[in-house]
Amino acid sequence: MILKRTLFIAGLVALALAGAQIYPSSAGEEARVIPAPASDEAAGSASTEVAVIAGGCFWGVQGVYQHVEGVSSAVSGYAGGEEKSAHYNIVGMGSTGHAEAVQVTFDPKKITYGQILQIYFSVAHDPTQLNRQGPDTGTQYRSTIFPRSAEQAKVAKAYIAQLDAAKAFPKAIATTIEPDKAFYPAEDYHQDYLTLHPNQPYIVINDLPKVENLKRIFPDRFRSKPALVLAKN
């Protein structure tokens, strides 16, 4: 629903006014330490590569990758549907085929595609949830990888099979792989949302813990200065 996050925030404000305590660290999705992918992309000569992933609200997923060393850009947007419906108010209806997605541009000499996926499965979202993440429900919040090449699709498929075989999660991974889907950037007011609104209750409860988990589980991958879209770093 379009108003889901607004209603969620309003509910938190009401609880605070009533004197209820809020525990941000316990409300975010649980991060997991998982094995690195056994199969990854072959080393190449390219200086940049693009990955497109979806894992619930794009605010948090974007915020995580903006703090990943080797990532030069993480843009919130939509993937899975048509260009004409790639608008927040339309996608929020849940019938466009789009998922809230993030386009991650990275240097494959500093971080591999497989390592991008390891962070995705470990701290960016819960891949076992079907068509939802946290308080958000609907196909627009599904867990999906949108590979940009046959090799990316192969790595993603193999990694999901590896994690399922290792029982890295208590349930089977629900992440789908949807190749040949275009990415459309979201409206400007969705970009850099975590950095620009760090005190908003939704961000505090659902998204800031993901960045803290990135720092805790992947200290060698963490960068304190985010790679922002609209503002100067």
pLDDT tens digit string along 132-142?
Answer: 999 999 999 99
- Judged against a pLDDT cut of 90, whether residue 231 lies above it is answered with no
Number of residues in the chain: 233
Active site residue 176: no
Strand order across the 143-146 sheet: 176-177, 143-146, 49-55, 99-106, 71-79, 183-185
| Calpha distance 17→137 (Å, rounded) | 26
Q: Model's pTM, two decimal places?
A: 0.89
Residues 6+ apart with CB under 8 A from 179: 146, 147, 150, 153
Beta bridge mates, 59:
none
Tell me the two tokens of residue 214. Answer: 């990135």
Q: Residue 165: what pLDDT?
A: 98
Q: Residue 44: what pLDDT?
A: 82
CA-closest candidate to residue 24, choices 169, 173, 209: 209
Backbone phi, psi, residue 141, to 5°: -110, 20
Q: Are 36 and 54 in contact (CB under 8 A)?
A: no
Of residues 57, 116, 186, 205, which has the active-site annotation? 57
Tell me the two tokens of residue 195. Answer: 């950095």
- Judged against a pLDDT cut of 70, whether residue 12 lies above it is answered with no
pLDDT, tens digit (0-9, with 9 covering 90-100), for 175-230: 999 999 999 999 999 999 999 999 999 999 999 999 999 999 999 999 999 999 98
Q: What is the mean pLDDT of the chain?
A: 90
Total Cβ atoms within 10 A of residue 52: 23
pLDDT, tens digit (0-9, with 9 covering 90-100), for 57-79: 999 999 999 999 999 999 999 99
Q: Which CATH number fits domain 46-215: 3.30.1330.10, 3.30.1060.10, 3.30.230.10, 3.10.129.10?
A: 3.30.1060.10
Beta bridge mates, 115:
none
